[in-house]
Amino acid sequence: MQRLYRKRIVLGVGGGIAAYKSAELVRRLRDQGAEVRVVMTRGGAEFITPLTMQALSGHPVHLDLLDPAAEAAMGHIELAKWADLILIAPGTADLIARLAQGIANDLLTTIVLATDAIVAVAPAMNQAMWRDASVQANIRLLEERDFRIFGPASGSQACGDVGFGRMLEPDDLAQSAADCFQRLSLTGKHVLITAGPTQENIDPVRYITNHSSGKMGFALAEAAIEAGARVTLITGPVNLPTPDRVSRIDVVSARDMLAACEAAIPCDLFIASAAVADYRPEVVAPHKLKKDPSTGDGLLLQMVRNPDILATIATRPDRPFSVGFAAETEHLLDYAARKLKDKNLDLIVANDVANPSIGFNSEENACSVIDRALHATIFAQTSKGKIARQLITFIAERMNQV
């Protein structure tokens, strides 16, 4: 059930005896990699304590619509936006009726009205109540509005009756929750991405760098998250917001970036989109360098090679599937193919940075991807976001062929 990996689930607990199963449901969801926030109705809190649900979910339980601390930050709206799925279990007859009528008189029903996420209800009630015409009419209303209805099952009930109305078991509900999500191309994979430039100090106020904005790497990180991956983004100095759900590590120099990459391994996929400085000053001056009349108008810096991050990762015994980037101004495919071979890569993305419409700091890109057989696949010019999604799809397909 890797489809639940890193999914955000709001579990709504209604006021029924089946609430005791909700505690086990939290564990099942978390076992499958989901992040769970629990919202309890007042009735739900009578059957199982918020402290129990807090301990199992690892987060404070939300109870009150008008909690001053939470609502200072528009808590119910934030929860509604945060969720990928709202799963209400147990869904009592009263709660189902309020949902069907669009009533928002507590925190849980308000969140449901405010969300764009999938909403699912696991009915739990006496078998006679479940058969009642009004309950069935409310269920049909919810289904017409694209609510997912999980169950109920048939069996013995707390009151002694036997029949439909029993809430599904936690394992079944977790499976139903997983079925709400598409099986994505990188589901459950750890993707490590480098982005942006590096800076190599000359002295405390000067450094050597390049024009990389980091936009392509950040777009790739966002696209990998959309594909279901867990993403670690290691970035040089850039002025870009961190994509949602991405674990970001900020570095400065090439050596910093290599150390961060090695610390982030193991990973399944390594995408090296950063523009790493090939050289650094051999000696970094401890103080600001001053003009020296004895040297005339020149300044001589002795440069040394930086470690090759991409080659280092791609030649490890536990190497991930490795994808490099070649930013070139001439002989694009030839230079990229040579880099692919020399660094032991699986794929390389070749960019013509001499073209200002797709070069550094541009909003668009176009590229060619070369594989080990030296076959080139061309991606036409479009936004970096779209190129990133196309590349992630292409890379995932190639990974599955290995």
Tokens 């668009």 found at = 364
CA distance 224 to 246: 9
Q: Is 79 helix (H, G, I), strand (E, B) or coil?
A: helix
| Cβ atoms within 10 Å, residue 146 | 8
- Within 265-383, where are the H helices? 309-314, 332-342
Annotated binding residues, written as ranges, equal 278, 288, 307-310, 325, 339, 343
CA distance 400 to 402: 6
- Within 122-267, where are the H helices? 127-131, 133-144, 170-178, 215-226, 254-264
Evaluate whether 155 touches 122 at the Cβ level (below 8 Å): no
Task: Find, among 109, 102, 91, 83, the residue nearest to 150 by Cα.
Answer: 91
Give the active site residues: 159
CA distance 220 to 392: 7
| Cβ atoms within 10 Å, residue 134 | 12
Residues 6+ apart with CB under 8 A from 263: none
CA distance 97 to 95: 5
Residues 6+ apart with CB under 8 A from 160: none
Annotated binding residues for CTP, written as ranges, equal 278, 288, 307-310, 325, 339, 343
Task: Find, among 83, 74, 155, the residue nearest to 120 by Cα.
Answer: 83
| Cβ atoms within 10 Å, residue 154 | 13
DSSP H or E run through 90 = strand 85-91
Of the chain, the end-to-end C-alpha distance in Å amounts to 22
DSSP H or E run through 36 = strand 35-40
Task: Find, among 192, 258, 266, the residue nearest to 229 by Cα.
Answer: 192
